[in-house]
Amino acid sequence: MATNTRFKFPCPVCAGIREVRLTKKDKPYITCDPCGIQVFVRGPAGIAEFNRLIEQGERDGLPARIREMERRYRLTCPKCGFKFWIERRLIKTSGFDGSLKGFLCPSNSCGALVSWEEKE
Ligand SMILES: [Zn+2]
Ligand SMILES: [Zn+2]
């Protein structure tokens, strides 16, 4: 049960443009079939930020949105402080529903799970 919206948003991993859908509880998410992930935006702050990014993309066009993505899609590992770009090979998804849980820190022997959604 999902509602399609007229908005589009880039996949955080491959940057392919995907349709934004809403769950039954009106929480936005995107599904990327090539990557095999679903990215849910949880929490009021995350949803507000997500909507702001979408509105900005509508106004400024895709290049601005891609620049914004690049800023957002660089993570810092909370355990070892290593900074990295998120990559498909680092994806950690839930075995239960395939939703995105986070990204594995690529730093040697760290392997911490770094959340994308909570990196504000
Ligand atoms: Zn993707
Ligand atoms: Zn780390």
Report domain extents, the chain: 3-114
pLDDT value for 37: 84
pLDDT value for 102: 85
Q: Measure 89 CA to ligand 2 centroid, in angstroms.
A: 15
pLDDT in tens, 8-18: 888 877 878 88
For the chain, give percent helix, strand, coil, nearest 5.
Answer: 25, 35, 40
Among all bound ligands, the one having the nearest atom to the CA of 33 is 1
pLDDT value for 71: 61
Q: Measure 115 CA to ligand 2 centroid, in angstroms.
A: 12
b/e burial code for range 62-85 (CB count within 10 A of at least 16 → b)? eeebeebbeeebebebeeeebebe
